[in-house]
């Protein structure tokens, strides 16, 4: 592995450590489930268009929250609570993406709520070349 690649991996790991990455990832997955599952049910004529539209709105809200939490990690507590609230409401609005989207969203929201910045030691640059 070249030193340039090693530096990029180090930067990626540092970026992941300073954000609620896994909570955002699970929320993103939950939003995709809220969009995908009602759409598939509509495709097979098992639900109405209203559920597809509500699922799309709920999924887009979850995707937006996920992206905003990755961009602004200091709001992870408020964002995590909002994720859990939307996931719980989606259980009644769009049947929670057949419960899978709600479960993944609740776990992602919990991860965002409990997330905190890991303290990293800054490298000593006096003696490094």
* Residue 94, φ and ψ in degrees, nearest 5: -125, 30
Structure confidence at residue 1 (pLDDT): 66
Render each residue's pLDDT in the chain as its tens digit; 129 residues.
677 777 888 888 888 889 999 999 999 999 999 999 988 988 888 888 888 899 999 999 999 999 999 999 999 999 999 999 999 999 888 887 889 999 999 999 999 999 987 666 656 566 555
Question: Are the beta carbons of 87 and 58 closer than 8 angstroms?
Answer: no
CA dist 35 and 46 (Å) reads 15
Distances from the Cα of 119 to the Cα of 14, 47, 116, 122, angstroms: 11, 49, 9, 9
| Domain layout of the chain by residue ranges | 16-114
Question: Are the beta carbons of 67 and 127 closer than 8 angstroms?
Answer: no
Structure confidence at residue 128 (pLDDT): 55
DSSP state of 95: G
CA dist 52 and 38 (Å) reads 5
């Amino acid at each position: 592995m070249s030193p340039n690649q090693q530096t990029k991996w180090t930067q990626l790991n540092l970026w992941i450590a300073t954000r609620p990455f896994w909570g955002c990832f699970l929320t993103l997955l939950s939003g995709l489930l809220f969009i995908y599952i009602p759409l598939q049910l509509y495709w097979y004529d098992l639900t109405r268009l209203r559920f597809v539209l509500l699922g799309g709105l709920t999924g887009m809200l979850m995707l937006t929250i996920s992206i905003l939490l990755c961009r602004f990690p200091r709001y992870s507590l408020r964002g995590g609570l909002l994720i859990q609230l939307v996931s719980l409401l989606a259980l009644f609005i769009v049947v929670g993406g057949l419960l899978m989207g709600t479960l993944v969203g609740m776990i992602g929201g919990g991860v965002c709520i409990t997330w905190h910045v890991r303290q990293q030691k800054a490298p000593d640059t006096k003696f490094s070349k």
